[in-house]
Amino acid sequence: MKTNPLTLEHYLDIATEAALAGGAVLQQYWGKLDHVIEKGRSGDLVTEADTAAEAAILAVIQRHLPDHPILAEEAGALGNSDSPFLWAIDPLDGTTNYAHQYPFSASSIALLIDGIPQVGVVYDPFHQELFRAATGLGATRNRQPMSVSQTSKLSQSLLVTGFAYDRRETPDNNYAEFCHLTHLTQGVRRGGAASVDLAYVACGRLDGYWERGLSPWDIAAGIVLVQEAGGQVTAYDQSPQILESGRLLATNGLIHEALSDVLIQVEPLALPLP
Q: What is the pLDDT of residue 179?
A: 92
161-191 per-position pLDDT tens digit: 998 766 566 667 788 899 999 999 999 999 9
Residue 92 marked ligand-binding? yes
Element (H, E) at 46: strand 45-47
DSSP state, residue 157: -
The CA-based angle 93-95-99, given to 5 degrees, is 150
Q: Decide if domain 154-265 falls under CATH 3.40.190.80.
A: yes
Residue 199 burial (10 A CB sphere; 0-12, 13-18, 19+): buried
Residue 177 marked ligand-binding? no
48-67 per-position pLDDT tens digit: 888 999 999 999 999 999 99
Q: How far is CA 77 from CA 6, 68, 86, 116, in A?
A: 27, 11, 9, 17
Q: Decide if domain 5-145 falls under CATH 3.10.100.10.
A: no
The CA-based angle 15-16-20, given to 5 degrees, is 120
Residue 48 marked ligand-binding? no
Residue 218 marked ligand-binding? yes
Task: Measure the CA–CA gap between 234 and 256, rounded to whole angstroms.
Answer: 9
Q: Are β-strands 129-134 and 138-141 bridged in parallel, bridged antiparallel, or unpaired?
A: antiparallel
Residue 129 marked ligand-binding? no
In the chain, the largest separation of any two C-alpha atoms, in whole Å, equals 54
Residue ranges for the chain with pLDDT beneath 70 = 1-5, 36-45, 165-171, 269-274
Q: What is the pLDDT of residue 53?
A: 95
Decide if 255 contacts 206 (C-beta within 8 A): no
- Residue spans per domain, the chain: 5-145, 154-265
